[in-house]
Each structure stands twice: as structure tokens, then as C-alpha cells.
Structure 1
Amino acid sequence: MLRVLLIEDHQTVRDGLQMALTRQGHTVDAVATGEQGLAYLHEDACDVVLLDLMLPGMDGFEVCQRIRSLGDLPIIILTARNDDIDIVAGLEAGADDYVVKPVRARVLEARIRAVLRRAGGEIRRSGGEPVEQHGALTIDRAALVVRRNGVPVGLAPTELRLLLELSRAPGQVLSRQQLLKAVWEHGYLGDSRLVDACVQRLRAKIEDDSSKPVLVQTVRGFGYRFGPL
């Protein structure tokens, strides 16, 4: 049984999702505003946050950023439109995944399970030396710790999985489809926005200059390659 925090201002949607997730055996705490959601998180714990983007007062983008600043709690954003701008902005704000309304309970349950598997540390470890040095970046695969210039880098679970997948074979180009399959699992094939937004967040944490990436390089028309070469 999971503890879910649902932040959704539309009462009909909120009640419907709360009922559907409760039927799945979860405990669902539902609030109508971002302010209420943040107040809840300061007092109680949960396993995953479902966050509507279009909220009154503090919008979902700011709420997402604030939740992410508190730690690695998995966040799935809910959006009423399959809109690139909104979805990418939500992912760049720190969300792990998104679902477009109207939400099908079975799809939502699968997305929740997937982000929790990533957060739970189910990460494949490669053979060979568990600690790797890539310029200023150190990757300890055994401990699942990343350091930059000796200082630990705080990566969300999805960011860590992406880095580990890219760095498995430096110099090898991995397509967005390959990364979607390895990091986000089979059901997510076809949506490169998840990869691109996560790459941007990862670069901001591990590159000297994220606008001129050296470690995670774009190979135009193909995907990404881990360097430095």
C-alpha cells in the first residue's frame, strides 16, 4: 500500500482519482492548492506526489520546484493538455513523469509503480571497477553516489539512472528510444520529451557550463553520447 499526495483543484477530478487510487489499495491524501500540498509535506510523509499543473494561486510549476528542493520525492504531473510547452516546463521543474487528463486509472497506476521502482534504487550495475572517474566527475556504481570535484551531487533517481546508462559506454551514442526503454521502461517509448528534459536537469548539475556540455553531448538527429572524448 502506498501513501499518495494528490494536489488537484478540480473537485470532480480530485474525487475521481482519489476513489480510483483508493480502490487500488492506496492511501490518498487530496488537497486543492499548492500551498496546502506544501504544508502537508512539511508535516507528513508520502511515497509519491500527483501534481496538477494548473492550480489557483501558486501554480504547479512552482510547487514542483519547491517539492524537488525538499528532496527526491517522486513527482508525477497531471496536465489537461498534451502541450509540449507545459509538459517540458513541468519536467524541467523537476517532475519525474507526466500523465495527460482524462487520466485512466490503470495508466496512472503503472506510472506510479514505474517512478517508485526508479526511486527504490532498482538500478543495474555494470561489471568492472565500481568507481569511475570522468574528468571532475566520479561515479561510484556500487554506492550509487556521484561526486563532482569531490562534492556529492544531489541527483533525483531518474537523473541518476540516466547518468548511469549514458556512462556505461563512454563515446557510444544512445538514441532517445534506447534511453526511454532503459530508464523509463517500455511503456514510455515514443516520448522524447522525458529524455530531453532530464538531460537538461542532469547537465545543470554535472557540467561546468550546461550551455556548452562536455560530459553529456547531443548528437544531432541521433541522441546523446557520454564524454569527455
Structure 2
Amino acid sequence: MCRILIIDDDKDLCKLLKRNLEKEGYSVGFCNDGETGLKEAQGGNYQLVILDIMLPKKNGYEVLTEIRKSSHIPILMLTARDSEGDKVSGLRMGADDYLTKPFSNSEFLARVSSLLRRYILFGKSNSIDNKIILGNLSIDTLKHEVYKDNVLIELTAKEFDLLLFFAKNQGQVFTKRQIYNAVWNDEYAFDDNNIMVHIRRLRKKIEDNPEAPTYILTVWGVGYKSGGTI
């Protein structure tokens, strides 16, 4: 059974979310301030954290930063702060998704299911052993940094997610639909061009010869798979 932690100062909302999640078969706990929530997230065996930004004692950004120092656990920011700047800040600091209040229960449950599915697919763990070697690439999953021959490569957040997806799923062939569902954390929108553009840009940054790639290979008529050696 997946265990979910809610960190939100709205006690009534916590009780409502807990009830709805438990109907879906999840085990749910909640805390109403950032300090207590951080301790519970660090000490408990959870597979997902649902985190508000405006919290007493420690705000959501502080909690997020501390969790990301030692854990890959999915984090869903759930907040009334709906500006683009707030959303970008949360995602850049390590949040996996961002949902603004008010929201529908069906969308909330879909986001939760998607994050947990992605967590299982990526095989993320709470280990601080956060380095993945793919050929001559070194991927730091906590710092979201990639080095090629010990030289830092500047990747966007989505490019990093793409590379991490392939690195953690060596040898498997994925369709564009599967890639989109996992990396974009959303249902497939028949947007093949979006995937292709991101892969093309990523290849330009990591490949010696983007026209003859060795890290992300095209499987004609199917999709893509990773090359290189872990």
C-alpha cells in the first residue's frame, strides 16, 4: 500500500484529502506545520508528499529544499499561490508537480496516481547515492546536474527528466506515448513534435555527433531507447 503525507495548515482540507485518498486505497497521514511535516517526511516511509507553500514554522519551499537533500520522493505542491513565478520556483527547487487551489477531486486524484506511477517506473529510492553513470555521462539526480567527461552540461528541467528516464530504463524501448506519460507527467496529447524537439535539443548537448547518436537511439516505427552503458 502506498503511503502519502499531506503537509498543509488547513486541517479541514487535510481531513477531506485524507478521506478521499483512503477511498482509493492509500494510507495517509498529515501534519499542519512545516517543521513537523519535514520531520515526518524524513522519518516516515512515504511514497508521496503533498505540500502547501504557506505554512507556519517552515514554509513549503524550505521543506521542499530540505527533503531534496536526501530524498527523491515525489512532491506535489498544493497551494493557492497560482502565479507563474511561484510555479516555476517550486518546480526548479525540485517539486514534481504543482496544483493550485481550488481544484477538483478528480484532477487531484489523477495527479497523485500519475506521480506514484512515475515514481515506480523511474525506480526512485530515498537513497542519497544519487549518481548514475551512462557512458561518459555522470548524472547527479539530486542536484539535477549532468557532466560529460567531467564538464558540466547545461540542461533544462525537461531535458534532464528525459535523460534520467532513459538512463534509469536501460535497454527498454518506449513509444512516444509512454515517454510523454512518464516525463511530462500527463496523459498523452498526441504531441509527437514536442517530444522530438526536446530529444533533438538534448542530443545536441550530450552527443559527440547528434546525427549519429549513441545515448538516445531512435527505434524506427516504435519510439526511442537509450544507448551507452551504465
Checking the alignment, whether the CA contact within 8 Å between 1:9 and 1:55 is kept in structure 2 is yes
Deviation at 1:121, TM superposition (A): 2.8
1:30 has 2:6 as partner: no
Structure 1 unaligned segments of length 5 or more: list them: 124-130, 140-145, 151-157, 168-177, 190-194, 196-221
SS in 1 for 2:55: coil
RMSD: 3.5
- Give 1:11's aligned residue: 11
Structure 1 residues 100, 19: CA separation in 2 closer, same or farther (over 3 Å shift)? same
Deviation at 1:164, TM superposition (A): 5.0
Checking the alignment, whether the CA contact within 8 Å between 2:75 and 2:96 is kept in structure 1 is yes
Which runs of 4 or more aligned residues in structure 1 lie more than 3 Å from their structure 2 counterparts after TM superposition? 146-150, 158-161, 164-167, 178-182, 185-189
Q: Provide the TM-score with structure 1 as the length reference.
A: 0.61
Q: How does 1:142-181 map to 2 (within 5 A)?
A: 149=149, 161-164=161-164
Q: How does 1:1-229 map to 2 (within 5 A)?
A: 1-121=1-121, 133=135, 137=137, 149=149, 161-164=161-164, 183-187=183-187, 225-226=201-202, 227-228=204-205
Checking the alignment, whether the CA contact within 8 Å between 1:77 and 1:98 is kept in structure 2 is yes
Deviation at 1:43, TM superposition (A): 2.6
Q: Provide the TM-score with structure 2 as the length reference.
A: 0.61
Structure 1 residues 182, 45: CA separation in 2 closer, same or farther (over 3 Å shift)? closer
Checking the alignment, whether the CA contact within 8 Å between 2:8 and 2:31 is kept in structure 1 is yes
Question: In the aligned structure 2, how far is the partner of 1:147 from the partner of 1:49?
Answer: 29
Question: In the aligned structure 2, how far is the partner of 1:162 from the partner of 1:113?
Answer: 20
Structure 1 residues 70, 188: CA separation in 2 closer, same or farther (over 3 Å shift)? farther
Deviation at 1:69, TM superposition (A): 1.0
What is the number of equivalent residue pairs in this alignment? 168
Deviation at 1:49, TM superposition (A): 0.2
Deviations 1:37-82 (A, max 9, x none): 1111333211100000111221101111111112101100001143
Structure 1 residues 46, 159: CA separation in 2 closer, same or farther (over 3 Å shift)? farther
Q: What is the identity percentage for the equivalent residue pairs of Structure 1 and Structure 2?
A: 36
SS in 2 for 1:112: helix
SS in 1 for 2:45: coil
SS in 1 for 2:69: helix
Question: In the aligned structure 2, how far is the partner of 1:44 from the partner of 1:182?
Answer: 26
Structure 1 residues 163, 2: CA separation in 2 closer, same or farther (over 3 Å shift)? same
Structure 2 unaligned segments of length 5 or more: list them: 124-132, 140-145, 151-157, 168-177, 211-230
SS in 1 for 2:82: coil
Question: In the aligned structure 2, how far is the partner of 1:61 from the partner of 1:147?
Answer: 27
Structure 1 residues 39, 164: CA separation in 2 closer, same or farther (over 3 Å shift)? closer
